[in-house]
Every structure is written in structure tokens, then in C-alpha cells.
């Protein structure tokens, strides 16, 4: 073997050892990539440099040394790849260890929320009426900020009629005819303006009255309006529906009474009282010492109201009712003071389970 050949052979073996040592010190993919360029780079790589010396060898020596150069090249290539794989695997293991989740660890306690008692009552009432074929009107069909027309005029309250004083109304400064609705009965007009009989709907919502706040009355409370218009509807249909409702909501045993009453938009009109659950009719502060609590007003839709929305009162008759949600809830859950519904006291609210 010629000295040149011997020298190249030496260099090649040395290069392989050097690459092996250098790779052992790498700690990132970039380190490995840098070494690849350093040893195997096409232009400046160390191996390329050595290979250039092959041309000085004799024809006889060249094949063997050339083969050795390829062997060394492959060996370094393999070492680089192995190192890359090892580093990738290390990174993966580190990440897995970092993100490990101990599924046996107890979770963080998140207290479950509950529905507000008034929501529970509204849901239950709607459910009962749904069972009798009444559909619930979408809340946004009937605004809380309403005009005099829908809250009073279309409901047959003549201008300056004392009946308007029955409901102390909040007026807004958006205009003398813009008010906070004092009853959900605006839903009757709004619905009949866009629908023809047969009509069978219920509409829950908030109403406002300028009243002195007490255990039984608030400035804001909730009502559920009901409206049925069809051919041959009678007062006994109304009584049947309301009796059925009271039975399903309060139970068969709870005494109930119908009283003659007056509303401008119904004729004849009635009010329904339920015997006070807190004192069983003995009289207490909650029922104003009457022994009974009024829960709803009702009656046959006045022909004038039907005419106003272009429904022929000769062909169609109907009934309407409006119930106070807070009253229903007080009786159902034996709550003495309506203000508790708005105090946001979790000790109170936690007692109600849907």
C-alpha cells in the first residue's frame, strides 16, 4: 500500500471515530444537523474533502479506498440518523412525563347550579298548559317597555278611565305613551295581531307596577298570560282549564274559589283565590289576614278586544287569564315574603331543586 493510500485510510477511520465522539455530545436536533454538514456536507464536508484526495491514488488502489470511503460515509449517516431518533424519542418522553395526568386524583369540586324558584314555577306552569295544548309565546314577541296602546288602549281601557288606576303604571321619559308594561296582557294583542284563531297560547314575562313594596307586593313581578280563541268557547271551558291547572299545580286537596271580578278586557271576569298554605285559611300576614291568596285574573275576551284585532266576535269567542308567578311560588313553597325571591341569598335559593 502506498503512503498516500495509507494516509487516506487513516483519515477515513479517524473521521468515523471523530464523528462518533462528536455525536455523543449533541443535545439537540440542530446540533446533529450541524454535524451532518460538518462531516458529510457536499461542498465543505470533511468526507468530501478526503474523497477529493482519491484522484491522487493509482488505478489499482482507488477501488478499495473508494469503497472504504463509502462505508465510512454510510456509517456516519447511520450514526446521525440513530442520534436524531434518540433525541426525538427523548423529547417525546420528556413531554409525556410533563403532561402526564393522574386520573386517580380527586377532581376540583364545582358546586352545581340550580334554577331559581320562579323559573321552576314558570317551567312547571308552562308544562301543565302545554299538556292542555297551549304553546308558549317567544319572550321577545311581547316587550316589557310597551306603548299605552298595547298595555291599555287595545285592551279596552278607555282614555282617562279609572280602570287605569288599578295598575299604578311606570311611565318612561321616552314619550308620554311609553311605559313599563303593568301586565302581560299586551301579549294578547301582540299575538292576535299576527295570528288567526284557533289560538291557544301562554306567555310568561316580567311586569312593573308603582306599588309600595311589601311581603306580598313588589315593583317588579312575573305573570303568565293565557289566551284561547276559537269557535264556541265558553266560560265553562275557562273554568275547566283553570280548575285542572290548580289541581295539577297545588294538588287535588287545596281549596280554590272563583270570585266575580272586573277587567276592561274580559266580560264576564273572575279572580281565582287559593286557600293560604301558610295558615290554612286561618289568616296570616302573607295572605293579608284573608285566609286566601289571589293567584289569577281571568275572563271571556271582551268582543271589543277581538274587533280591535280584526277577529269577528260573532264567529269567535275566547278566554284569557293572567297569573302571578310570585304568588304561585309563595303558596307552593310556603314562602312568607316575596322579597326573598330577589335577595339572591344562596341559603334561600339552594333549597329549590328542579
Interacting residues toward ligand PHE by CB under 6 A: 183, 185, 263, 266, 297-299, 320-322
Spatial distance between the Cα atoms of 126 and 222, rounded to a whole number of angstroms: 13
**C-alpha cell recorded at residue 104:** 386517580
Q: Is the peptide bond before 198 cis (omega within 30 degrees of 0)?
A: yes
- Min dist CB 105 to ligand PHE, Å, is 55
> With respect to ligand PHE, which residue has the nearer C-beta, 73 or 269?
269
Rg (the chain; Cα; Å):
44
- Min dist CB 223 to ligand PHE, Å, is 6
List the one residue out of 137, 164, 135 whose CA is nearest residue 151.
164
Long-range contacts (CB closer than 8 Å, 24 or more residues apart) made by 160-169:
161/264, 163/262, 163/263, 163/264, 167/209, 168/209, 168/210, 168/211, 169/208, 169/209, 169/210
> With respect to ligand PHE, which residue has the nearer C-beta, 80 or 228?
228
> With respect to ligand PHE, which residue has the nearer C-beta, 61 or 294?
294
Asked if residue 322 lies in contact with residue 224, where contact means CB atoms within 8 angstroms, the answer is: yes
- Min dist CB 323 to ligand PHE, Å, is 8
- Min dist CB 334 to ligand PHE, Å, is 24
> With respect to ligand PHE, which residue has the nearer C-beta, 45 or 264?
264
Spatial distance between the Cα atoms of 248 and 124, rounded to a whole number of angstroms: 10
- Min dist CB 349 to ligand PHE, Å, is 27
Spatial distance between the Cα atoms of 32 and 22, rounded to a whole number of angstroms: 9
Max Cα distance, the chain (Å): 130
- Min dist CB 281 to ligand PHE, Å, is 23
> With respect to ligand PHE, which residue has the nearer C-beta, 283 or 288?
288
**C-alpha cell recorded at residue 76:** 456516519
Residue number, nearest CB to ligand PHE: 322
> With respect to ligand PHE, which residue has the nearer C-beta, 73 or 151?
151
Amino acid at each position: 500500500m502506498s503512503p498516500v493510500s495509507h494516509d487516506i485510510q487513516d483519515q477515513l477511520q479517524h473521521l468515523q471515530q471523530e464523528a462518533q465522539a462528536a455525536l455523543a455530545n449533541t443535545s439537540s436536533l440542530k446540533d446533529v444537523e450541524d454535524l451532518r454538514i460538518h462531516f458529510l456536507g457536499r461542498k465543505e464536508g470533511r468526507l468530501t474533502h478526503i474523497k477529493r484526495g482519491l484522484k491522487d491514488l493509482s488505478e489499482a488502489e482507488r477501488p478499495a479506498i473508494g469503497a472504504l470511503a463509502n462505508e465510512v460515509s454510510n456509517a456516519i449517516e447511520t450514526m446521525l440518523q440513530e442520534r436524531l431518533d434518540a433525541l426525538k424519542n427523548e423529547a417525546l418522553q420528556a413531554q409525556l412525563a410533563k403532561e402526564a395526568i393522574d386520573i386517580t386524583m380527586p377532581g376540583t369540586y364545582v358546586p352545581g347550579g340550580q334554577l331559581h324558584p320562579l323559573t321552576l314555577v314558570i317551567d312547571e306552569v308552562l308544562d301543565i298548559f302545554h299538556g292542555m295544548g297551549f304553546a308558549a309565546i317567544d319572550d321577545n314577541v311581547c316587550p316589557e317597555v310597551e306603548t299605552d296602546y298595547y298595555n291599555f288602549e287595545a285592551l279596552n281601557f278607555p282614555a282617562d278611565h279609572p280602570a287605569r288606576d288599578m295598575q299604578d303604571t311606570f311611565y318612561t321619559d321616552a314619550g308620554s305613551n311609553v311605559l313599563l308594561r303593568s301586565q302581560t296582557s299586551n301579549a294578547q294583542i301582540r299575538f292576535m295581531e299576527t295570528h288567526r284563531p284557533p289560538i291557544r297560547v301562554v306567555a310568561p314575562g316580567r311586569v312593573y307596577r308603582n306599588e309600595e313594596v311589601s311581603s306580598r307586593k313588589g315593583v317588579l313581578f312575573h305573570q303568565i298570560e293565557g289566551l284561547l280563541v276559537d269557535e264556541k268557547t265558553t266560560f265553562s271551558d275557562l273554568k275547566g282549564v283553570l280548575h285542572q291547572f290548580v289541581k295539577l299545580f297545588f294538588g287535588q286537596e287545596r281549596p280554590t274559589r272563583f270570585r266575580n271580578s272586573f277587567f276592561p278586557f274580559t266580560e264576564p271576569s273572575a279572580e281565582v283565590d287559593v286557600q293560604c298554605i301558610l295558615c290554612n285559611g286561618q289568616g296570616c300576614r302573607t295572605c293579608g289576614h284573608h285566609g286566601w291568596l289571589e293567584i289569577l285574573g281571568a275572563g271571556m275576551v271582551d268582543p271589543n278586544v277581538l274587533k280591535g284585532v280584526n277577529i269577528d266576535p260573532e264567529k269567535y269567542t275566547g278566554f284569557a287569564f293572567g297569573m302571578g308567578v310570585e304568588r304561585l311560588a309563595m303558596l307552593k313553597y310556603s314562602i312568607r315574603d316575596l322579597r326573598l325571591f330577589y335577595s339572591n341569598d344562596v341559603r334561600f335559593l339552594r333549597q329549590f331543586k328542579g
